[in-house]
Amino acid sequence: MNCEEIKELSSDYLDRRLTPDRESVLEAHLESCSVCREEIETLRANIVLAGSLDRVETSADFLAQVHRKIEGAAWRKRLWGRLFEPPVIKVPLHITALTLLAIFAFQMFYRSPELSPERGTSILPESQRLPQDLLQEKVLPKAGTAQERRRENALETGKRDEESYRLVEPQAPTNVEAELSRGGTSEASKKPEEALASTPQPAVIELTAMDVSRYAERIKVLLEGRGGRILGLESSPGSDLFMTVELPQSRQAEFLAAARKEADVEAGEAPRPVIEQAREKALARKDLAESLRKLRAELSRSEKAAPLMDEERKGAESTVRLQLHILPKK
């Protein structure tokens, strides 16, 4: 037996797995070969050293951790069983539920938001909007500071009384005829707007209407039916209309009641979709401009007849002047 063979058998020798004959031959070689003897001894020492290595111990809660993992696995197994057993029934059910959920989520995500144009902005293209000069034409001269402030407040806040009108500041009725007659014929021939400039500002009454222009025409009819007349008109970019009117004091309450009733009738109309409302507003502005032209034309005709009317009014009861602020109902 040579040294190479001894090396090959060294592990078996140390583990006592050689036959007695081979073991004898190997030991005889070791007695004569110091190299092989040293190799065997080194191998033996390493085996003994490995056997004496310190035992690696578990932590103190090892058993508890094992049970915790067992419980966790059992829970997962139960959950799996409840969810997917029997698979023939449960799996199609889950697929159906997930599909319905996905459809619902898709619809919610891609649902179009309702159009809500900002207040005061037009959704019509520039070419369809009315020229600003028609809307901003002023008939009345500037009022006093206090009156102007009240008018601006009414425009800005846009407050709407439940009964659709609000008396801002009642004032003593003014006798336009007397004032005009004091000024003489030259005064009588003055335009009502000019006469108005020299008189105290009338009370402002706010009225709301769906269609301002149409409502203005109705007001004119109501007014004339009660012996009144329109003294002046002023509109704003927001489709508001300021109408200065004059009528017999005795017919004031009746006129205001009729005007309120007319506004309520209009308010009773069902709200229309936002896009349609915007279009109607644009058309309303156009109608308003037309109405303004008509009313002013009638006004100029009434100016010519003013001396006659003034004559008729001589000796008649005192009149009251009102400023109607007609606001579009939003």
Partner 1 sequence: MVSAQDPDGALIERIQDGDRAAFNQLVLKYRNRVMGIAARMVGDRAEAEDLAQDVFVKAYHALDGFHGDALFSTWLYRITANSCLNHRKRRRREATTALDGPAPTAPDGAANPQSLLERKELKLLLEKAIQALPQDQRLVLILRDIEGLSYEEIADSTGLELGTVRSRLHRARSALRMTIRPKVSLNGEGREG
Query: Using CB under 8 A as the criterion, which residues of the chain lie in contact with partner 1 when the complex forms?
Result: 7-8, 10-12, 14-17, 39, 42-59, 62-63, 65-66, 69-70, 73
Q: Which is nearer to partner 1, 58 or 132 (CB)?
A: 58
Q: What's the CA gap between 236 and 289, in Å, rounded?
A: 11
Question: Which residue's entry shows tokens 């007609």?
Answer: 326
Q: Which is nearer to partner 1, 23 or 224 (CB)?
A: 23
Kindly report the backbone phi and psi dihedral angles of residue 32, in degrees, each rounded to the nearest multiple of 5, phi listed first.
-105, -10
| Shortest Å distance, C-beta 59 to partner 1 | 6
- Reading the block at residue 40, the tokens are 């065997």
Question: Which residue's entry shows tokens 């190299």?
Answer: 35
**Measured torsion, CA atoms of residues 296, 300, 306, 308, in degrees rounded to the nearest 10:** -120
DSSP result, 281-310: HHHHHHHHHHHHHHHHHHHHHHHHTHHHHH
Q: Which is nearer to partner 1, 45 or 308 (CB)?
A: 45
Angle CA 306–296–300, to nearest 5: 30
Q: What's the CA gap between 203 and 166, in Å, rounded?
A: 10
Q: Which is nearer to partner 1, 59 or 145 (CB)?
A: 59
Q: What's the CA gap between 174 and 17, in Å, rounded?
A: 137
The CA-based diameter of the chain, rounded to the nearest angstrom, is: 163
Q: Which is nearer to partner 1, 18 or 289 (CB)?
A: 18
Q: Which is nearer to partner 1, 44 or 293 (CB)?
A: 44
| Shortest Å distance, C-beta 97 to partner 1 | 31
